[in-house]
Structure 1
Amino acid sequence: MSLTNAQKKQFRNIGHELNPVVMIAGNGLTETVLVEIDRALEDHELIKIRISIMDREVRSALIAEISKIMKCETVQTIGKVALFYRAALQANPKLSNLLR
């Protein structure tokens, strides 16, 4: 599930207006955080996640781990905020950030 450059550009434009829906801090990727990320991806398809960890290497590892576990694409990473995309099984036009 690789995104084309045109899709990434479109998703970055949409993501610019979004606020982070999940925030990860010192406890890292707990089961509760993973459940919330999964729910948010299924509802919204395109989400921002703020990772409030100072070490860049740890942040990069967490972003890669989220992509792997959630089977989603990392669209963009700027500082402590990452933008993720995963197509919903049944997109809800009222919740999806792509259909609104």
Structure 2
Amino acid sequence: MLTGKQRSYLKALANGIDPIMQIGKSGVTETVLKQIDDALEARELIKINVLNNSLLGSKETATEISEAVRAEYVQSIGNKFVLYRESKEKLINIPK
């Protein structure tokens, strides 16, 4: 569970990154979850875009995905959301 200070730090880091994945009308599939899981292990912090043709909302999608891949939901703005999960290599040092 992230504290407010940690969430703010991650929001600031996420501001400078581009979305690495898009979720379209097919929604959240096993393939998408596998790709997100791999991306989180490699990067720790990722931004995902939910396309307009998708029937899903960004916050609901973020919550569903974060539970499935054991990640922390950081924020959602418009049709984008940010997820964080600490990897084995600890790339990001978040404040305590």
TM-score by length of 2: 0.86
Instruction: List structure 1 runs of 4+ shifted beyond 2 angstroms.
Output: 53-56
Letter in 1 for 2:21: V
* Residue in structure 1 matched with residue 21 of structure 2 by the alignment: 22
Post-superposition Cα deviations, 1:40-76, rounded to whole Å, max 9, x if no partner, equal 00000000010114678x3232211101101111101
CA contact (8 A) 2:27 2:54 kept: no
Q: TM-score, normalised by structure 1?
A: 0.83
CA distance in 1, matches of 2:63, 2:15: 21
Q: Secondary structure at the match of 1:20?
A: coil
For 1:38, the equivalent position in structure 2 comes to 37
Offset of residue 78 of structure 1: 0.2
Give the direction of change, closer, same or farther, for the CA distance of 1:37–1:73 in structure 2 (3 Å limit): same
- Percent of aligned pairs with the same residue? 34
**Please, which runs of 5 or more residues in structure 2 have no aligned partner?**
none
Q: RMSD between aligned alpha carbons?
A: 1.7
Whether the 8 Å contact between 2:26 and 2:54 is mirrored in structure 1 is: no
- Where in structure 1 are there 5+ consecutive unaligned residues? none
Give 2:30's aligned amino acid.
E
Equivalenced residues, count = 92
